[in-house]
Amino acid sequence: MMGQTHTGKTRRQAVLDAASDLVASFLYYDRKEDEDLGVGEIEAAIIAEEISIEEIIFVVGGVIRKSVAEITK
């Protein structure tokens, strides 16, 4: 059975919404005051082929897998 949140969303949808928020923070909100990696710098690095979207996804996916594995032991 699908879990429900207090707002009536399914837990699945709440997780997907949180993932979207995470990306918005990663690309914009967390960059606003970052002196090393400001707003637009991630996109610029991708466009300049300094890093690929797939590499970023690989790292993020690995962190999620590791974190979930640690709490499910």
Domain coordinates in residue numbering, the chain: 11-71
Q: How far apart are CA 67 and CA 26, in angstroms?
A: 18
Q: How far apart are CA 39 and CA 37, in angstroms?
A: 7
pLDDT tens, position by position, 11-38: 999 999 999 999 999 999 999 999 999 9
Beta strands in the chain (DSSP E): none
**pLDDT computed for residue 2 by the predictor:** 64
pLDDT at 56 over 70: yes
